[in-house]
Amino acid sequence: MIDIGPDFRLQTSRANVIPDTIVITHGHWDHIAGIGELPYYMEEVLKRDLNVYTDETCMAFIRGMFPYLFFEEKTEGSTSIVGFGESNQYQIFWHRIRAYEAVEANDMKILPFSQHHGGSDSLGIRIADFVYSPDVKSFPVQSWDCLADIDTWILDCDYWEPSESHGDPETVLKLVDQFKPRQVFLTHMDEKMDYSVLKSWFVDRGYAHVVPAYDGLMIEPSST
């Protein structure tokens, strides 16, 4: 699972998904607030340990917001292992990741890369030819290699108007022209982004392969 928003319990139970690995892209509320639910979720639903991957900056945010979840810390190399403490049956294993350093998790190669998100950076996540880019205004040149040969791109399109920290339709068009992904699903839209209006906006410009995502959407690779 990528990010853990405030409604993650509702979303995962509705989609019948039980994540055992979570990658977190940055420390904003809408991407980490569900962490507060984890102790109960792990006891009642998951019933096993959980691996969480994020970078140093985001981990610092999370530690500040949920200090009681970081009861005990042992360090093994670059991996920080932190648990709820002895009264809890299951543990969260926190793994520090860095942009451009791939990690293996659940037999998947996860490649984080930097994205400019206004005053701070977020992590984009690449897994094979699937790329997840929430909360991004632009990409540093260093990240361009990570955006080559994308099959499925989940991409920020928050507002109609350009903003400092998020995507908009015109920006999405430029990115699609530059990196030529086979299919794009827009995410993070605000309440002014009507689904059918946004969909038509791209169809009208000859970009029918760029469509708004929605809760519960199932995505297939474009080649199947």
Nearer to Zn ion, 29 or 40 (CB): 29
Which residue's CB comes closest to Zn ion?
28
Nearer to Zn ion, 28 or 126 (CB): 28
Cβ contacts of 153 within 8 Å, gap of 6 or more: 131, 133, 147, 179, 181, 183, 184, 185
Considering only the stretches 22-30, 51-59, 80-88, 192-200, report the one whose residues sit in contact with Zn ion under the rule CB under 5 A.
Answer: 22-30
* Distance in Å, CB of 156 to Zn ion, minimum: 8
Per-residue binding letters, 142-181, with Zn ion (x by CB under 5 A): ----------------------------------------
Contact status: 135 vs Zn ion (CB under 5 A): yes
Contact status: 7 vs Zn ion (CB under 5 A): no
Nearer to Zn ion, 28 or 137 (CB): 28
**What is the distance between the alpha carbons of residues 173 and 151, in angstroms, rounded to a whole number?**
16
Size of the site for Zn ion (CB under 5 A): 3
Chain residues 58-77 in contact with Zn ion, contact rule CB under 5 A: none
Q: How far is CA 222 from CA 82, 87, 92, 96, 131, in A?
A: 39, 46, 35, 32, 13
Contact status: 30 vs Zn ion (CB under 5 A): yes
Residue 131, exposed/middle/buried by CB under 10 A (0-12, 13-18, 19+)?
buried
Nearer to Zn ion, 55 or 135 (CB): 135
Contact status: 28 vs Zn ion (CB under 5 A): yes
* Distance in Å, CB of 47 to Zn ion, minimum: 29
Compute how many other C-beta atoms are within 10 angstroms of the C-beta atom of residue 60.
12
Considering only the stretches 6-14, 64-72, 130-138, 214-222, report the one whose residues sit in contact with Zn ion under the rule CB under 5 A.
Answer: 130-138
Contact status: 137 vs Zn ion (CB under 5 A): no
**What is the distance between the alpha carbons of residues 210 and 156, in angstroms, rounded to a whole number?**
12
Considering only the stretches 24-32, 53-61, 146-154, 178-186, report the one whose residues sit in contact with Zn ion under the rule CB under 5 A.
Answer: 24-32
* Distance in Å, CB of 132 to Zn ion, minimum: 12
- Residues in contact with Zn ion by CB under 5 A are 28, 30, 135
